[in-house]
Amino acid sequence: MQISNNREEEMEIDLRDLFISVARKWRKAIIFGLVMMALLAGFRFFKAYQSYQAQLLDEADKKESDFELWEYEQKKAKLEERISRIEEKLDQVMEYQDKSMLMGMDPYDYYWATCTYYVTTNYQIIPELGLQDVNYTDSVLAGYSRMVVDNDLYDQIRSLLGMESDDRYVSEIFRFYVDYSSDMITVEAIGTTEAKARELLDVICDKILEETPVISSSIHEHDIKPITTKTEHINYDDSSSSSAIKVKSAQDNNMDQYLELNSTIIDLREELDDLEKESPVITLNVTGIIKYAIVGFVLGICLMAFIYCVIYVLGDSIKTEEELRSCYGLPVVGRCAPAAAAKGAIDKRIARMQNGNLDNMSADQMVALMAAKLSSLVKDKNETVVLTGTMDEAVSRKLFDQLKAKTDVKLEFAGNPLLNASAVEKITAADHVIIAERIHSSRRTEVQSQMEMLSTMEKDVLGIILA
């Protein structure tokens, strides 16, 4: 394929590639933003602190001693910290009251369903044996504890209830516990109606039977038999019920906790108000510091993004595949996997934007695809194809070894013809040339010089491989 030398004087900027190139530097941009945030916030804090200190000194003169002011600040800080902690606990109690299914039930009108299973491994002690067989019963019971109550069970219960709820709240309406002394498993479930309680119990029992063959094969063969099954309508104080799930007790405990926290926070706020009545009016302008911090963070990111945009526009590196195609009229035979795998969710997203469907291919698949395309371009397998390019020789050598192992073409390695005389000799002797370059690494001036050399040598260039 003939090489086009009608290279445009000015390349059009690919805004999508510019965005991706800048986005790849997001870590450095955030770090620079944090540095700017710290500098501006620190400057604003210093100015605010100077003003604060001036007020503090003026007020200290009105006090009997510096100790009085220090004592006031210590008491106020401790009260505010206690109030903050209790407010967090109070919010948690109120959130639990709103979201908990147990809290929404009528403690004098609900249904309780229970089922008890007996597990046996048919273990027997044989007196005439000095060394007895291992009793796997406890292991089997532990297996049920681990396997039954899992995410799948919670999802089934949520599907049955027709509502989304955290595991914490779902676990309150059923109980699954093992008695290792009697080798028994007990399951309990509650519901606002008898049908709902039974349906919930059936879901858990079905899960037990579903895991039975798995536990038998993975731990030990055993038998599990239902012993008792019953349903009870709780329309009285549930403290007298044999159920382990106590609706009224849970509701009373939650209400007691709410009242206690609410009373405590009222007392602390009154104490803080009394303390502040005699306090000096001294404030540190925290709002201004926060504003400067936000402005500094945004300004730092924008400044770093601008710097990378300037570097991108003024840089001499090859930016896109389209740039290679439009400059030299050569097809891109294939692309290799990125040199470094994406580490986080943001890096993976950027890699998908940059590589498209190639992001879902392994390195071996990409090399195999390039090898197949290369074989299709060379009709006569006795003809020699030489791999050349201006990028780092170690990278191009590794690419050559990978291609060589997967193609039936007579492939030879030349290296950089601008730096290596032997590379020029190998290109001269070869029938075809395949060029390997790296986006954002190979330089335009070097690639252009290489293309002019190949054009002068009138070599058939099959295409370009992006490594």
DSSP E strands in 107-157: the ranges are 110-120
Contact 66, 60 (CB under 8 A): yes
Looking at residue 9, its pLDDT comes to: 41
**391-422 tens-digit pLDDT:** 888 888 888 888 888 888 888 888 888 888 88
**142-196 tens-digit pLDDT:** 999 888 888 888 898 888 888 788 888 888 899 998 999 999 999 999 999 999 9
**318-354 tens-digit pLDDT:** 766 766 776 777 788 877 755 444 556 766 666 666 5
Looking at residue 239, its pLDDT comes to: 72
What is the DSSP code (8-state) at residue 391?
S
**284-306 tens-digit pLDDT:** 566 767 887 787 788 878 887 77
Using a pLDDT cut of 90, give the percent of the chain over it: 17
Looking at residue 7, its pLDDT comes to: 45
pLDDT band at 198 (very low <50, low <70, confident <90, very high): very high
Looking at residue 284, its pLDDT comes to: 57
Looking at residue 37, its pLDDT comes to: 78
Residue 78 makes CB contacts below 8 A (sequence gap 6+) with none
Looking at residue 425, its pLDDT comes to: 85
What is the DSSP code (8-state) at residue 121?
-
Q: What is the mean pLDDT of residues 85-109?
A: 89
pLDDT band at 8 (very low <50, low <70, confident <90, very high): very low
Angstrom distance (rounded) from CA 111 to CA 214 = 32
What is the DSSP code (8-state) at residue 241?
S
Three-class SS of residue 163? coil
Angstrom distance (rounded) from CA 337 to CA 358 = 8
Q: What is the mean pLDDT of residues 28-54?
A: 75
Contact 204, 170 (CB under 8 A): no
Taking the alpha carbons at both ends of the chain, their separation in whole angstroms is 21
Looking at residue 12, its pLDDT comes to: 60
Strands across the sheet containing 432-437:
332-335, 460-466, 432-437, 384-388, 410-415
Q: Is the pTM of this model over 0.85?
A: no
pLDDT for residue 238 is more than 60: yes
Looking at residue 426, its pLDDT comes to: 86
